[in-house]
């Protein structure tokens, strides 16, 4: 369902009172045209280059975070989730220095925020496409906060900033959020829905009419999911960059960082006989970091 809370804003030098109030009330906000077509083209090219580099160097984990592999429409290997992508691209890293991010950081006020380029999963590239062998075409309900609990920290407010690289009208699936759930108590944050298992639409959810180049920001405590595209192949392609804005102690990751437990859980696979395969393959770590060209 498309709800009246889905309003589109434009980002200026400062956040307007209306933008701040909207974000504080609902826990998300949508800005049109954050980047122009030329920048978008370059970002897509850089993402492609990073993927090529990771594949050709047999890297399946960056700073302890596993990459998610699938198959593209042409049968070629595709990385459907890349963590810390800006580590491999001077351009993507430079994008994070855009002064408008300082404006967005103010959404975290009164907390003092910073761009987590080297923290959490860094700059993440999500790439969804519906093909027979795509491992990643939707994502069940979750918030981004329990990851902090797994990592032994208390839940701190954070923002997840999504830079959308493809058009994705509401009818094509994409991001769905439950407005206002960022202010819930800990019990509701942990148990409102079954994390990542529940993919069912919620009568109160809100979707977006995304144009390539748009930016969305959601509070890390907000329940959200990704609705699978109704289309197959190229029409279903959806690429989004996510950038964490964090607060609290600086917790950078590097090539020696351990894989968080929740990522290991995600690797558990069912055997054909229905039993869970508990062997957790560690894979290779991206020790050989590409020098930023
Ligand atoms: O792809 C999206 O828009 C949301 C992704 C997301 O929620 C996640 O990666 O945790």
- The residues pairing with 139 across neighbouring beta strands, listed in sequence order, are 226
Q: Please give the number of the atom of ligand 1 that sits closest to the Cα of 144.
A: 10
The sign of the torsion formed by the CA atoms of 259, 94, 249, 21 equals: negative
pLDDT digits (tens, 9 = 90+) for 209-255: 999 999 999 999 999 999 999 898 999 999 999 999 999 999 999 99
Query: What are phi and psi for residue 93, nearest 5 degrees?
Result: -65, -40
Burial of 188 (0-12, 13-18, 19+ CB in 10 A): middle
Q: Is 29 helix (H, G, I), strand (E, B) or coil?
A: strand
- Ligand 1 center–CA 52 separation, angstroms: 22
- Ligand 1 center–CA 184 separation, angstroms: 20
Indicate the top mutation candidate among 139, 145, 146, 260 to test ligand 1's pocket, ranked by most ligand atoms within 8 A of CB: 139
Beta strand 28-31 pairing with 8-9: parallel
Domains of the chain, earliest start first:
9-277 (2.60.120.620)
Indicate the top mutation candidate among 83, 126, 135, 170 to test ligand 1's pocket, ranked by most ligand atoms within 8 A of CB: 126
- The residues pairing with 206 across neighbouring beta strands, listed in sequence order, are 177
How far apart CA 290 and CA 61 sit, in angstroms, is 13
Residue whose CA lies nearest to ligand 1 atom number 10 = 144
DSSP 210: B
Q: What token pair was written down for 292?
A: 């930023």
List pocket residues of ligand 1, CB cut-off 6 Å.
Answer: 126, 139, 144, 162, 175, 224, 226, 240, 242
Q: What is the dihedral of CA 280, 286, 287, 292, to 10 degrees?
A: -170
Q: Are 111 and 158 in contact (CB under 8 A)?
A: no
Rounded to the nearest 5 degrees, what angle is found at the Cα of 269, between the Cα atoms of 265 and 271?
150
What kind and span of H or E run contains 31?
strand 28-31
Least confident of 27-31, 92-96, 128-132: 128-132
What kind and span of H or E run contains 30?
strand 28-31
pLDDT digits (tens, 9 = 90+) for 109-157: 999 999 999 999 999 999 999 987 776 788 999 999 877 666 666 788 9
Q: Is the peptide bond before 110 cis (omega within 30 degrees of 0)?
A: yes
pLDDT digits (tens, 9 = 90+) for 161-189: 999 999 999 999 999 999 999 998 888 88
- Ligand 1 center–CA 198 separation, angstroms: 15
- Ligand 1 center–CA 226 separation, angstroms: 7
- Ligand 1 center–CA 124 separation, angstroms: 9
What kind and span of H or E run contains 238?
strand 233-246
- Ligand 1 center–CA 219 separation, angstroms: 12
How many Å is the maximal CA-CA distance in the chain?
Answer: 58
């Amino acid at each position: 369902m498309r709800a009246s809370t889905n309003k589109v804003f434009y980002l200026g030098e400062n956040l307007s009172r209306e933008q701040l109030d909207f974000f504080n009330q609902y826990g998300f906000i949508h800005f049109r045209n954050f980047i122009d077509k030329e920048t978008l083209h370059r970002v897509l090219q850089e993402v492609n280059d990073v993927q090529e580099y990771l594949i050709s160097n047999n890297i399946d984990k960056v700073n302890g975070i596993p990459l998610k592999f699938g198959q593209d429409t042409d049968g070629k290997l595709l990385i459907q989730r890349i963590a810390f992508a800006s580590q491999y691209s001077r351009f993507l890293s430079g994008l994070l220095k855009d002064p408008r991010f300082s404006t967005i950081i103010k959404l975290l006020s009164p907390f003092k925020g910073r761009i987590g380029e080297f923290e959490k999963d860094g700059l993440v590239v999500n790439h969804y496409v519906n093909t027979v062998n795509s491992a990643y075409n939707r994502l069940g309900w979750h918030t981004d906060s329990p990851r902090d609990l797994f990592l032994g920290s208390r839940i701190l407010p954070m923002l997840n900033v999504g830079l959308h690289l493809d058009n994705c009208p509401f009818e094509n699936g994409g991001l769905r959020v439950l407005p206002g759930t960022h202010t819930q108590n800990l019990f509701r944050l942990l148990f409102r829905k079954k994390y990542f298992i529940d993919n069912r639409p919620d009568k109160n959810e809100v979707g977006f009419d995304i144009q390539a180049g748009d930016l969305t920001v959601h509070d890390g405590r907000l329940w959200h999911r990704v609705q699978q595209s109704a289309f197959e192949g190229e029409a279903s392609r959806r690429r989004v960059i996510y950038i964490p804005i964090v607060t609290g102690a600086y917790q950078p990751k590097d090539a020696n960082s351990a894989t968080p437990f929740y990522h290991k859980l995600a690797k558990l696979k069912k055997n054909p006989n229905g039993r869970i395969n508990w062997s957790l393959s560690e894979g290779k770590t991206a020790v050989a970091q590409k020098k930023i060209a």
